[in-house]
Every structure is written in structure tokens, then in C-alpha cells.
Structure 1
Amino acid sequence: MLHRLIAMGMALAASCALAQGYPDKPVRLVVPFPPGGSVDLVARLVGKSLQDALQQPFVVDNKPGASGNIGAAYVAKAPADGYTLLVGSAGVFAANQFLYANPPLDPLTAFAPIMRIVDQPNILVVGNASPARTVRELIALAKAQPGKITFGTASVGSAQHFSTEIFMQQAGIELLHVPYKGGAPALVDLMGGQIDMLFDTSPTALPYAKSGKLRALAITSRQRSPLLPDVPTMREAGLPDFEVMTWTGIAAPAGTPPAVVEKLNAAIKAALQGPLRRQLEETSLIPVGDSPQAFGAFMRQDAEHYARLVRSAHITPQ
């Protein structure tokens, strides 16, 4: 017992010593999606704040593919020293494990949670040429053409995908799924008329909706966004049980010293009390800033939520 206590004390001392000098070289923030999406935006804003606070470069490294699994697996296999971090979505941290017959990792054991940074709603958008000007009209179009109205997503199992699956269930309609490699190309095709509709994360869809390049029919949050005050919630639009929020978090490889995790958490939490909060809120993101322990518990809870969604939507693992 004495030897064990001594070993534990030495490990704790080593962890604290490492954290005191951390970081002493550039830190890589891996984003498992292409540039231009909401996760990429959060990573770049948070990275700039961490760079200012900790006086080392925090470099965003986009590693897209397989609905985020490629980038996530890269981080999971990286040295657990705090110099390779994952900024990911609910799909990466909770849903993907239920969407693949042979998932490359279990996020609950592969990562050391640092923080759930933001929550965010999705926005239901259609092209300006669409005859649907309301959610009710879109539902009517879909019922008149079962399986013909197309919807885009950033990938299979993305927040956009689950929002649309819930939409189909609650509205009693059938839509045709067109998955993309990232949200940006889906938006381009929506504007070009190649697809009919899209639930997209609010930071990505917001500029297109505000500029009039796309028509926003509803937002998936409980309340309207002050940035789109004329756009109703899905509840107001006729689906009283519809509320979907997704999120973005940051984690390190499992085994990263707790003192390093706490140092990163404290630095982001401090940044969220300053200009970073305003920068996030200006894109309709909702800052969270929870503890590593709370984020870990939330990941477990959300994994259970997505497991139920996958079963109820009859999604077959790939």
C-alpha cells in the first residue's frame, strides 16, 4: 500500500510539473471535417484565444473523412501529452460509434474530455427557387412526392442527418438523403438547386439566410434566435415536439495528464469570459464552458441519446 501511495504521489507530481511548463511548443487542433464548417470555426476562434493565453501557436489541422472518424482516430493514437487535441462534434464524440459496423474507436474510452465549448441549433433552409415558404408547405410537398424531395447533409450521422431523421419521423414524410463530404458543398448545391432542403448548423447557414441567398424556414432551438428574429422555431412552425441542439467539444487522447487537461479547460473558460464569447454568440453559437468531468458525463448521456435515435430511425450501420 505504501509503495502504491508513493507511486501515485510521484505520478501526480510529474503531472503537475508537466502542466507548469505546458505548452512549450506548438499544439495541433485536429478538426475531423473540411474547412468552412461550424466545428472548424469554433476550433479557429478557440485556437486564437489559447494562443494568446498560453503563448504558443495552436494550429488547426483539418483531417476530414468517414464522418469525422479519420481525424478522431488520428488523435486517439497520438501521444497523450497535450500537443494533439481533437475539436469535434456530437457525431464524433457520441453518434458515430452507432453508425459503423466496425467503429474505429469508442470515444468514451479513447479520449480525455476537456470541455464542451458550445451548443448550437440547426436551421432548416431551402433554395430561393423552392415553392415552400413555410415548414407546413415543405411537408405538404414531401407528402405529395414521397421519397422525391432531397435533403443534403455534411455526412452520414451528422447533426444535419439526425435533425432530418427526426423531422421525417415527426412530420410523417419520406425524403431522399444526399450525403456530402462537409456542409459547405451541400450549401453550394442547395443554392444551385441540386438538392431541395438542408438542416445546417446555425453558424454555417446564418450568413446565407441573412443575405437572402437561401430561405430559412425554421430554427431547431426552443426559442427564436435574436440574429434571425423573423424565423420561427420548429415548434412554432407546426411540430410541437421538435427541438434539436448539437454541440462542439474539445478532448485529448486518453491518458493525457489531468493537470494538462485542467490547464486547457481553465484557459478556455477564461477566454469565454472575454471577446471569445461575443465572437461565438455573433454566429449564433451558445457558449457552455463546462468542466472535464461534466463534459465526460454529458458525452455518456448523449451517446445513449444517439443510440436511441439510430434505433428509432432504423439506420443500418455501415
Structure 2
Amino acid sequence: MSFPHFSRTLPHRALRRALAATLAAFALAGQALAAFPDRPVTLIVPFAAGTTPDIVSRLLAEAIGRDLGQPVVVMNRVGASGIIGTQALIAAPADGYTIGYANVATLAINQSLYKKLPYDADRQLAPIALTGSVQNVLAVRSDLGVQDVAGLIALARKNPGKLTVASGGNGTTGHLSAEMFKSMAGLAIVHIPYKGGVEADLALLRGEVDLVFENTTSIAPHLKTGKIVPLAVTGAARDSRLPTLPTLAESGLPKYQAVAWNGYVAPAGVDPKILDVLNAAFNKALRTPAVKQQLDAQAYDVHVGPRQDLFDLAQKERPVWAEAIRHSGATLD
């Protein structure tokens, strides 16, 4: 016995059910996007509390939280040049509710500093925003007897291997900024790593080392002591907070440029529309006069732009830092 009517209509019913399920899924996805965020967002900072990454992130978290209508809670996951926090971010659900701080270290330096980096930034992360940068300052102890970059280069050439440069650790922008300087000027200066930028600055203040490359935020308060003489900044342009200081490019090294830039990322797979919401929130915060004023106090140069700016900069800078690492011989694994 056959049931022609039943056999013809069954596929149509299955098709209708499948279509209905698909439309329902699209509706739910649209509702979820329209409601984003409907609960707090976690911001992972893979560096210690009280550092420039932490200070900047907490300031921006408060501002974007107001714009999004939900708290943005900062969580510090410290260790291994940002690797621990980056891995924690990659392991989080790709729903936009966990985002992370990323910088020149996690997106550009680590790629050459570690032979076996346990994450692939291009494949496992998605850019949200490039938010800005901080320059380094080349400074010397006051009793070294030099007042400009040319004088430092001349002294180093007369005393190869006798001058010392402190940094906040192997592979930091302070260390690699010094390596770029040594390479371009053809100098032999001994690198002495400390546990952090604060310790490196104090070593210079105490006269234990001869020079340092340290970010403007950290070193600026020490310039008032008279024990440190700033010679130049490391960026492409002068710093408005230290307008009398030339760039290293102006000081005889025309190709020199090194800044500590940063931004924010999400796990790969987050809906691009959610990433656009987050990018708009960051850009709005960075345009806010009160936020800009506070960031300026941190010697932070703001960048506002599309999401891809962050990864475009990382791709551009990786070979620059790779060369500095090659020159230094530094490796962390």
C-alpha cells in the first residue's frame, strides 16, 4: 500500500521546520547583537597593576563602560611578557564579553623574542582598536658629562664596552630601543636588565648605570631631581610635554624610531558587528576631552581609527623589532 500524499508532503514539512529554525536562529542572533552588551565586560590586562598599561586600561574601561551602559571590569593576568594574559583571552568565549589589552610586546616583539610563542596573534585574536602610544626618553646620569646625543655617542666610542644601559628587562621596549641605538650608532654599550622600568630608573638615579631608555610616563618625575639629563625622545616627532628634547632622528640617527604602542583585542570569532560596537566606544572615549586630558598626563599619544589599524601596525613593526632582537641576541625560551 502506498501513501503518495504523505510521501510528498513530508519533505516540505521538514523543509519548513528547518527554515523556521534557521530564521529563529537569525532572530536570536540579531536580538543578542542589538542587546550587546547586556552584562559586564571583562578587560584582561596582561601586565601588573600600576603600570602604564594598567593605568590607561582602567581609565578607558571606565569611559567605555559609561558609553556601553555596562561595567567594564579590569582583570590583571600577569606574566611572561604578556603571554599569560593573552592566552587567557584566547581561551575565553568569542562573544565580545571578554576583551584584552594588547601592545607592541604581545603583537610584535614576542613573535621574534620567543622561538616557540604559544599563540598566533593573527589567527587567534581579532583587533578592536589601536588606541595610542608612549615614547621612550634617552636619559643619562648628570655626572656623565654629556648634554646631547652627539656627546654620548662620542663618549661611547672613546670607551667601548665601558658604558652601561639599564632596562626594565630583556625584550622590553626600553631594552630594544637601546639595541636599536647601539646598532645604528655602531656602539658597544653593556645592557643591564632590571626587574622593571621603575628599578631601571632608580639605578640611573643612584648612578649605578650610565643611561636608560624609559617611557616618558615613568621617567618624567625623575627629570626634576637634577640627577638625570634627558637627551632625546625615540618617536618620529617631539613630545609636546618635553618640547625642547629632539628626537633621535633629529640627533644624527635619521632612521631611528621606536615607540611603545598599544590597543585592544578580542578572541577570534567575535561577530564583526560587536567588534565595531567596541571600536566605536573606544574611539568615543579617546575623543572625550576629560579622557584626553588624563591620558596626556600619562604622556600618552592618542590614536583614533578603524579596527584594522592595530594589526596593520603590528605587521609593519614586526621586522623592525626582529632586527633589534637579532642584534641584541635576546631570547626568552
Q: Measure the CA separation in 2 of the matches of 1:138 and 1:120.
A: 23
Q: Are the structure 2 counterparts of residues 317 and 66 from structure 1 closer, same or farther at C-alpha, using a change threshold of 3 Å?
A: closer
Structure 2 residue corresponding to 1:185, chosen from 199, 203, 217: 199
1:210 shift after superposition: 5.1
Q: Give the aligned length.
A: 316
Q: Are the structure 2 counterparts of residues 37 and 89 from structure 1 closer, same or farther at C-alpha, using a change threshold of 3 Å?
A: same
Q: Measure the CA separation in 2 of the matches of 1:308 and 1:59.
A: 37
1:96 shift after superposition: 0.1
Structure 2 residue corresponding to 1:18, chosen from 6, 27, 32: 32
Whichever residue aligns with residue 306 of structure 2, its letter is S
Q: Which residue of structure 2 aligns with residue 145 of structure 1?
A: 159
Q: Under a length normalisation based on structure 1, what TM-score does the superposition of the two structures give?
A: 0.87
Aligned residue for 2:146, secondary structure, equals: coil
Q: Which residue of structure 1 aligns with residue 50 of structure 2?
A: 36
Q: Is the 8 A contact 1:152 1:177 kept in 2?
A: yes
Q: Measure the CA separation in 1 of the matches of 2:216 and 2:250.
A: 18
Q: Which residue of structure 2 aligns with residue 238 of structure 1?
A: 252
Query: Aligned pair 1:168/2:185, yes or no?
Result: no
1:13 shift after superposition: 5.5
Superposition map of 1:279-318 within 5 A? 279-311=294-326, 313-316=328-331, 318=333
Q: Which residue of structure 2 aligns with residue 228 of structure 1?
A: 242
Q: Which residue of structure 1 aligns with residue 293 of structure 2?
A: 278
Q: Are the structure 2 counterparts of residues 51 and 166 from structure 1 closer, same or farther at C-alpha, using a change threshold of 3 Å?
A: same
1:267 shift after superposition: 0.6
Q: Are the structure 2 counterparts of residues 297 and 118 from structure 1 closer, same or farther at C-alpha, using a change threshold of 3 Å?
A: same
Q: Which residue of structure 2 aligns with residue 203 of structure 1?
A: 217
Aligned residue for 2:287, secondary structure, equals: coil
Deviation track 1:144-203 (CA, whole Å, cap 9, x = no partner) reads 333332222233222212211110011111222223343222223222233322211222
Q: Which residue of structure 1 aligns with residue 134 of structure 2?
A: 120
Q: Is the 8 A contact 2:171 2:330 kept in 1?
A: no
Deviation track 1:126-147 (CA, whole Å, cap 9, x = no partner) reads 2344433322232233233333
Whichever residue aligns with residue 178 of structure 1, its letter is I
Whichever residue aligns with residue 58 of structure 1, its letter is V
Aligned residue for 2:269, secondary structure, equals: coil
Q: Are the structure 2 counterparts of residues 196 and 54 from structure 1 closer, same or farther at C-alpha, using a change threshold of 3 Å?
A: same
Q: Are the structure 2 counterparts of residues 15 and 267 from structure 1 closer, same or farther at C-alpha, using a change threshold of 3 Å?
A: farther
Q: Is the 8 A contact 1:210 1:228 kept in 2?
A: no
1:42 shift after superposition: 1.8
Q: Which residue of structure 2 aligns with residue 48 of structure 1?
A: 62
1:266 shift after superposition: 0.5
Q: Which residue of structure 1 aligns with residue 104 of structure 2?
A: 90
Deviation track 1:1-38 (CA, whole Å, cap 9, x = no partner) reads x9xx9999877765543333233333222222223332
Q: Is the 8 A contact 1:206 1:283 kept in 2?
A: no
Q: Measure the CA separation in 2 of the matches of 1:11 and 1:179.
A: 55
Whichever residue aligns with residue 78 of structure 2, its letter is P
Identity across aligned pairs (percent)? 36
Query: Aligned pair 1:80/2:122, yes or no?
Result: no
Q: Is the 8 A contact 1:32 1:64 kept in 2?
A: yes
**Structure 1: any 5+ residue segments left out of the alignment?**
none
Q: Which residue of structure 2 aligns with residue 261 of structure 1?
A: 275
Q: Are the structure 2 counterparts of residues 10 and 147 from structure 1 closer, same or farther at C-alpha, using a change threshold of 3 Å?
A: farther
**Structure 2: any 5+ residue segments left out of the alignment?**
1-14
Whichever residue aligns with residue 18 of structure 1, its letter is A
Q: Is the 8 A contact 1:154 1:180 kept in 2?
A: yes
Aligned residue for 2:308, secondary structure, equals: helix
Q: Is the 8 A contact 1:126 1:196 kept in 2?
A: yes
Q: Measure the CA separation in 1 of the matches of 2:20 and 2:309.
A: 29
1:49 shift after superposition: 0.8
Q: Measure the CA separation in 1 of the matches of 2:56 and 2:303.
A: 12
Q: Measure the CA separation in 2 of the matches of 1:186 and 1:131.
A: 20
Aligned residue for 2:174, secondary structure, equals: helix
Query: Aligned pair 1:105/2:140, yes or no?
Result: no
Query: Aligned pair 1:216/2:226, yes or no?
Result: no
Q: Which residue of structure 2 aligns with residue 66 of structure 1?
A: 80
Q: Is the 8 A contact 1:165 1:313 kept in 2?
A: yes
Deviation track 1:246-301 (CA, whole Å, cap 9, x = no partner) reads 31111011122222211110111111221222322343322112212332333223
Q: Under a length normalisation based on structure 2, what TM-score does the superposition of the two structures give?
A: 0.83
Decide which moves more: 308-317 or 123-132: 308-317
C-alpha RMSD of the superposition: 2.9
Q: Measure the CA separation in 2 of the matches of 1:98 and 1:217.
A: 29
Q: Measure the CA separation in 1 of the matches of 2:280 and 2:78.
A: 28
Rg (Cα) greater in structure: 2
